[in-house]
């Protein structure tokens, strides 16, 4: 059984109310930028996310958020932690990190966190919505990964090759065993 699960945030835990999985969620940040309260009003938790996180937590699995951010580290962490608090998820997650704005960053964070907790790569799972920013960084470090299916990246050549996909978060349990 997995002992630690890493989650991307935008497009994995929440998405824009108006576009859901039709348009990449980063558009909200580009449109409203520093108007963080306006951005948060546009977002909603994805169906089955809350119930799934609660069940995983009850199983004793460590839950970590890794969300890529173009902002400096302190500001990135403040923003992502603010979103977690906005959705009242702060008691569910063990750690929340704004990762750096390059593809390999999440993989680097994953390895650091595994070392911190004395866990092996086989104990971990990464869950995200994009191949380049979520799936590939984990797999390149030898960590299992799952992609959430959506409409904004499904035609990407690498995304089509991925076999481990879920349509909703509650399907994650088949990869936790």
Phi-psi region of 76 (alpha: psi -120 to 50; beta: other; left: phi over 0): alpha
41-65 pLDDT per residue, tens: 989 999 999 999 999 999 999 999 9
Check whether 91 has a pLDDT greater than 90.
yes
What residues are paired with 148 via a beta bridge? Answer: 166
101-140 pLDDT per residue, tens: 999 999 999 999 999 999 999 999 999 999 999 999 999 9
d(CA 36, CA 82): 9
Check whether 155 has a pLDDT greater than 70.
no
Check whether 20 has a pLDDT greater than 90.
no
Domain locations along the chain = 4-175
Class of domain 4-175: alpha beta
Contact 73, 44 (CB under 8 A): no
φ, ψ dihedrals at 60, nearest 5°:
85, 15
One DSSP character per residue, 96-132 reads EEEE-SSTTHHHHHHHHHHHHHT--GGGEEEEES-II
d(CA 102, CA 43): 24
Q: What is the pTM of this model?
A: 0.94
């Amino acid at each position: 059984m997995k002992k630690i699960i890493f989650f991307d945030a935008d497009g994995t835990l929440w998405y824009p109310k108006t576009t859901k999985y039709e348009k990449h969620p980063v558009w909200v940040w580009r449109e409203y930028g520093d108007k963080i309260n306006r951005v948060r009003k546009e977002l909603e938790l994805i169906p089955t996310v809350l119930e799934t996180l609660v069940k995983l937590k009850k199983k004793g699995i460590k839950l970590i958020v890794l969300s890529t951010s173009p902002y400096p580290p302190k500001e990135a962490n403040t923003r992502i932690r603010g979103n977690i608090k906005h959705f009242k998820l702060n008691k569910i997650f063990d750690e929340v990190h704004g990762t750096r704005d390059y593809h390999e960053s999440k993989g680097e964070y994953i390895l650091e966190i595994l070392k911190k907790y004395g866990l092996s790569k086989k104990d971990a799972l990464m869950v995200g919505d994009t191949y380049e920013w979520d799936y590939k960084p984990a797999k390149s470090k030898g960590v299992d990964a799952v992609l959430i299916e959506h409409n904004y990246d499904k035609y990407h050549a690498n995304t089509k090759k991925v076999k481990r996909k879920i349509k909703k978060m509650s399907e994650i349990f088949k990869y936790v065993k």
